[in-house]
Structure 1
Amino acid sequence: MLNKYPLWKNILILVVLAIGFVYALPNVFPDDYAVQITGARSGTEISQQTVDRASEALEEAGIAIKGIDREERSALIRVTSSDDQLEARPIVQQALGEEFLVALNMAESTPEWLQAAGAGPMKLGLDLRGGVHFLLEVDMETAVEQRLEATSSQIKRELREERIRYLGGDLSDGNNIELSFRSEGDRSEAFDIIRDRYDEFLLDESTEGENYLLNLSLSEQEIQQIQDYAIEQNLTTIRNRVNELGVAEPLVQRQGADRIIVELPGVQDTAQAKRVLGATANLEFRLAARQDAPRASTESYPFRDEPERTARLEREVIVTGENVSNANQGFDENGMPQVNITMDGVGGDLMTRATRNAVGRGMAVLFIEFRTEMEQEVVDGQVITREERVEETSIISLATIQSTLGSSFRITGLDSIHEASELALLLRAGALAAPMYFVQERTIGPSLGQQNIDAGFMSVVVGFILVLVFMAVFYRAFGLVANVALTLNLMLLLACMSIISATLTLPGIAGIVLTVGMAVDANVLIFERIREELREGVSPQLAINAGYSRAFVSIVDANITTFLVAIILFAMGSGPVKGFAVTLSIGILTSLFTALVVSRAMVNAIYGGRKVESLSIGGKLANV
């Protein structure tokens, strides 16, 4: 029958709209302002007594508490306004002391029944929700030094395998390795091996007393390559760590020769971000020193969880975290947490060679952390801030080698599941090729983001209302149908963005406004086609059918072109550009559905299957 959808099609449309309503609904519930409490050290538990102390301090200050959410290692105290939130932070921090970190955050207020259905609000970008901005600087000198240390260890290992005796091999000032030999013959053999296998070095021979020296120096070109590799590897590692954190639409990009910008939307707890992202650390695997090992060939390190306890380790590094290809947290046969590690091909070979003759000895995992400390002092009445870069090396695991290790093994002796999970995250995300230091840290508060949200929301509302008025006045009943379809289009757009966890930014709001105009465009094409058919004397039923069927090709053609542009923007752009592209592409799809399918279903329900003498579509009315 003309202008009638079958029952199954109407039911399908209603089901799609119902699902859209459920998944768009969480966006109606705004996030609550909150202060978040976490431990200053990784693994610190948040007890009920800690929360009670913070609550009592807020009540004494006259700040109303809206609610409290406590988990094992964090707690959220909800307050009623951004002003209360800003006031509450220093109060809670003073009440709890330096053992805990207090940060601004936002807490979801989505009802539990919606959460049970998997529905949640859209994620908001840095410009809307607030978040943290970091500027990190890569230590290029240490990058070169670390490469030289690793290469020096490898060269000495190969010389031992070739049975070439050397007296010592250390890093000298500058970008050099200096090897010492007893005889000129040993030096000559070493010269030939190093020249053939390590073409990145410039070799120079000299003598010092009875010792024959071989100096290996890096060329300027090789130093530049090492530094470029360091920052690119750090970029990759930081991106992996951000992905492990689950931050939506982060920005990680290089700035200049040695700096990296990181922006994390929605993250107000800078301490938590720094512990994982900002843990500018590396990992090294070393054998425990033998009892009779000379002191010069060993180093003593404290344990991370027991600083008063130490162990002596060999100076030579077996492998670093750079050789780890995968790591997962698990449990041993006694139910204790462990980390299962898989090395890459090179790392597996090095581990096998190092542990083949070391069964029964201990192997340690060293955690080397670099951080920046700011010290302030008053000089001549002025506050002078000095930056001090501190390196802390500690043992996180020291286990006995039970058998020759290969590319897969496990780290045990960890204190908690949280520690095992965090170590697996760092290993899985990759090691930093060089230490990095925080040179700038900025928090964009939720209150500033709320101002952007309000401004963007107002622009959408004003544009939407103007379109609704225009369509109702100009196209009468059909205009009202278009207005309902337009409202449903916005609902479906919000639902789709919520379902795929897309991030809304200010450019994304611009994409929504553009989507509103494009959706109206499709309805205008259809309605004008119906008017044209009516002017030519076609009956109302045939005019409706012709209007939708003949305008279909033009509408799809125009939207496909725009959709392709959105895909290109998404592929080529980054940050806000991607946010705009995502919103635009989803808006195109929902606009096509509501303009061609939903509005047609409503028109069919009004006019289909019965005799119609005229259509309320504005302009000249056509009689049968």
Structure 2
Amino acid sequence: MTSSWKWKIGGMLGSVVLAIYALVPTFFKFPQIRQELESQQKPIPWYFDFFPEKGLNLGLDLRGGIYIEMDVMVEEGIATKVDLLAQDLLRDLKKRNIEPADWKRDPASHQLQFTFKSDSDLQTTLELVAKDYKTALVKKGSTLQPQPMANFSLDPEYESLVRKDVVSQAVQAVRNRIDRYGLSEPTVQQQGDTRLIVELPGVKDPERAIKVIQQAGKLEFKLVSGKLESKTLGDLIGNARKENNLPIAYSADDVKKLNEILNDKLPEGTEIAFELTRDSATGQVTQALPYLLEQTSYITGDMLKNAQVQIDPQTSQPYVSLTFSPEGAKNFGELTKAHVKELLAIMLDGNVMSAPQIREPILNGQCKIDLGGNLDRQSQLKEAKDLTLVLQEGALPARLQEATKTVIGPTLGADSIQKSLKAMLIGTLLVVIFMVVYYNLSGLLADAAVLINTLFIFALLAMFQATLTLPGMAGIALTIGMAVDANVLIFERIRDELKAGQQPRAAVEAGYSNAVRAIMDSNLTTIIAGIILYQFGTGPIRGFAVTLMIGLMCNLLTAVTMTKTVYEFFLSRRKIARISI
């Protein structure tokens, strides 16, 4: 055997061995075993280090998991941004010894309205906004009668940037949470202007995962207003529900609707929020304590530096300890200093977690969130860890509202794999039988090439960590058909040459030479179609396109190069008078 043949045969066998090597973790379920051993804190077998860490990724439809679409409530993010701008402006005015008589934000338009005690205060404010806030705020109008007053709104370009940032921050926050949650091969992508698509294959606790994703983690500190007695507030809520046939519910939308109905009856600049107690077994609300709060968010999760789970040494109950950034610590210190003896509501996602009394100024920039409720200690610890994860990885800039959700169980995924593999095996078996019957030993060679082609497809998917989906399985089945088609073209060309009186070696050479152009054209045009499908398609269509393109590229190697090498090897070693074709 010459050195050139050694290189050719060695390259072929090396490619097959490399493909098998890449698929060993998939065949023997190394990733699942590794994850289970790590969770149990057991040592991992030494031979795992000799193989790739990850195997073939299975998509949602094959592995089971969650597919969820959520809308980002962008208007809420804009409202928070406007509140923070208002707080910055108030601090700058305070440095100039100006304290507005009143200010408020319009819930619909997000416009800020400031009322001043003198004309000079109004003029100074207008100059300040024009100089230091010109990229964010624009004046919508001002008047001196009956009181000095000015209205400001967000600059259109600045508002557009805020809208984009709210969605992009939501995407990043969801990604970070999923990564910290420990899920593998997640998919998080933006669709349109305000919608997110999340796919979580293989998740074991769907409800907990959805809660971690959807929990806005919107941390706010608001003062409890003393303008209404508790009994009066409770009567207002009860009458509003009775008169408007409102259900006794406490979701964000229900509370928002309640506030809209009571808008004219509540003191200006205030809103209602509830502190909820839930049953540990069912999760149902067992008690809801209403609070009248000031609408202004004095401190938000953006000013949070760290959050961690701590255990109270006196009660042995877990709680979440918060540490603010320098800016947050300063704001928190000023807030607590100015409102000693008042109640400060610590809010998470619109619900009051607790409302302790400010006994003295808190200047160290730290506070805590007690979980409370009727949860047992283990459930409290689990909830504290999830809350810490949400706060550490960044609060969502706005609430996520579920649009659609599909939970695919692992049994359904396994059933999909079984049926798709069964269909592929039946189809492949029929092809193998046909090729052997119709083309004899050459057909057997083509069958070997098809099997190697399939092996290469799975190996490349595993090596590049592409995800195999159910449509991807269809793409592989189509590739098998096209691989056989390529061999049929070659074999028919060889038959034509043999009928024309060519010697076997010359017939093989001419057959491959004449057929390869048609094979290249058909494969390349289909690859171009696959590129277009991948570029403009979504999820399942992309999965089909990926396996189709990989299969066709492998097909050019196996159907054209490998089979020809085998023919040439046998024809060069001895004189063959007849080809079995």
Interval containing the TM-score (normalised by the shorter chain): 0.5 to 0.7
Structure 1 match to 2:7: 8
Deviation of 1:497 (Å): 1.0
Instruction: Letter of the 2:206 partner, please give it.
Output: T
Structure 2 residue 351 is matched with structure 1 residue 390: yes
Deviations 1:313-371 (A, max 9, x none): x975599279x9xx9x9xxxxxxxxxxxxxxxxx9xx969979x99xx9xxxx99742x
Structure 2 residue 581 is matched with structure 1 residue 599: no
1:459–1:30 Cα change, 3 Å: farther
Query: Map of 1:357-372 to 2, 5 A cutoff?
Result: 369-370=348-349
1:553–1:426 Cα change, 3 Å: farther
Please state whether the residue corresponding to 2:81 is helix, strand or coil.
helix
Structure 2 match to 1:18: 17
Instruction: Letter of the 1:320 partner, please give it.
Output: D
Structure 1 match to 2:317: none
Q: Is the 8 Å Cα contact of residues 140 and 230 (structure 1) preserved in structure 2?
A: yes
- Which one of the candidate residues 127, 132, 154 is aligned to 2:61? 127
Q: Is the 8 Å Cα contact of residues 126 and 505 (structure 1) preserved in structure 2?
A: yes
Structure 1 match to 2:506: 542
1:439–1:488 Cα change, 3 Å: closer
- Which one of the candidate residues 419, 434, 443 is aligned to 1:455? 419
1:506–1:74 Cα change, 3 Å: farther
Q: Is the 8 Å Cα contact of residues 132 and 268 (structure 1) preserved in structure 2?
A: no
1:368–1:504 Cα change, 3 Å: farther
**Residues of 1 paired with 2:106 and 2:168: CA distance?**
26
Deviation of 1:607 (Å): 3.0
- Which one of the candidate residues 505, 508, 514 is aligned to 2:472? 508
**Residues of 1 paired with 2:527 and 2:405: CA distance?**
38
Query: Map of 1:153-164 to 2, 5 A cutoff?
Result: 153-160=87-94, 163=96
**Residues of 2 paired with 1:119 and 1:601: CA distance?**
34
Q: Is the 8 Å Cα contact of residues 533 and 547 (structure 1) preserved in structure 2?
A: yes
Structure 2 residue 452 is matched with structure 1 residue 478: no
**Residues of 2 paired with 1:172 and 1:520: CA distance?**
69
1:612–1:421 Cα change, 3 Å: farther
**Residues of 2 paired with 1:139 and 1:558: CA distance?**
48
1:181–1:265 Cα change, 3 Å: same
TM-score (norm 2): 0.65
Deviations 1:156-178 (A, max 9, x none): 244356x3622356434533433
Deviations 1:129-174 (A, max 9, x none): 110233445445532320221110222244356x362235643453
1:534–1:439 Cα change, 3 Å: closer
Instruction: Letter of the 1:505 partner, please give it.
Output: T
Instruction: Letter of the 1:122 partner, please give it.
Output: L
Please state whether the residue corresponding to 2:456 is helix, strand or coil.
helix
240-249 or 443-452: which moved more?
Answer: 240-249
Structure 2 match to 1:60: none
Unaligned runs of 5+ in 1: 35-66, 76-109, 287-313, 330-346, 371-388, 402-415, 618-624
Instruction: Letter of the 2:99 partner, please give it.
Output: Y
Structure 2 residue 146 is matched with structure 1 residue 185: no
Instruction: Letter of the 1:118 partner, please give it.
Output: P
Instruction: Letter of the 2:21 partner, please give it.
Output: V
Structure 2 residue 104 is matched with structure 1 residue 171: yes
Deviation of 1:19 (Å): 1.3
- Which one of the candidate residues 190, 194, 203 is aligned to 2:141? 203
Please state whether the residue corresponding to 2:397 is helix, strand or coil.
coil
Instruction: Letter of the 2:456 partner, please give it.
Output: L
Deviation of 1:14 (Å): 0.8
Deviations 1:227-282 (A, max 9, x none): 67644542454356556756426254448x86544232222323553465334224
**Residues of 2 paired with 1:596 and 1:502: CA distance?**
25
1:114–1:68 Cα change, 3 Å: closer
**Residues of 2 paired with 1:422 and 1:319: CA distance?**
12
Structure 2 residue 173 is matched with structure 1 residue 248: no
Q: Is the 8 Å Cα contact of residues 84 and 297 (structure 2) preserved in structure 1?
A: no
Deviation of 1:513 (Å): 0.6
Deviation of 1:489 (Å): 1.1
Structure 2 match to 1:295: none
**Residues of 2 paired with 1:215 and 1:116: CA distance?**
68
Instruction: Letter of the 1:171 partner, please give it.
Output: K
Deviation of 1:532 (Å): 2.2
TM-score (norm 1): 0.61
Please state whether the residue corresponding to 1:519 is helix, strand or coil.
helix
Structure with the higher fraction of residues in strand conformation: 1
Instruction: Letter of the 2:185 partner, please give it.
Output: A
Instruction: Letter of the 2:22 partner, please give it.
Output: Y
**Residues of 2 paired with 1:226 and 1:488: CA distance?**
53
**Residues of 2 paired with 1:201 and 1:576: CA distance?**
49
Structure 1 match to 2:550: 586
Structure 2 match to 1:320: 302
Deviation of 1:583 (Å): 0.7
**Residues of 2 paired with 1:556 and 1:321: CA distance?**
60
Structure 2 match to 1:104: none
Query: Map of 1:84-163 to 2, 5 A cutoff?
Result: 113=47, 116-118=50-52, 120-140=54-74, 142-160=76-94, 163=96
Unaligned runs of 5+ in 2: 223-295, 309-324, 338-344, 357-361, 366-380
Q: Is the 8 Å Cα contact of residues 523 and 595 (structure 1) preserved in structure 2?
A: yes
439-448 or 575-584: which moved more?
Answer: 439-448
Query: Map of 1:255-334 to 2, 5 A cutoff?
Result: 260-270=196-206, 273-274=209-210, 276-282=212-218, 316-317=298-299, 320=302
Please state whether the residue corresponding to 1:608 is helix, strand or coil.
helix
Structure with the higher fraction of residues in helix conformation: 2
**Residues of 2 paired with 1:602 and 1:157: CA distance?**
82
Instruction: Letter of the 1:250 partner, please give it.
Output: T
Percent identity (aligned) = 30
Structure 2 residue 455 is matched with structure 1 residue 466: no
Deviation of 1:423 (Å): 7.0
Instruction: Letter of the 2:82 partner, please give it.
Output: L
Q: Is the 8 Å Cα contact of residues 472 and 544 (structure 2) preserved in structure 1?
A: yes
**Residues of 2 paired with 1:367 and 1:14: CA distance?**
66
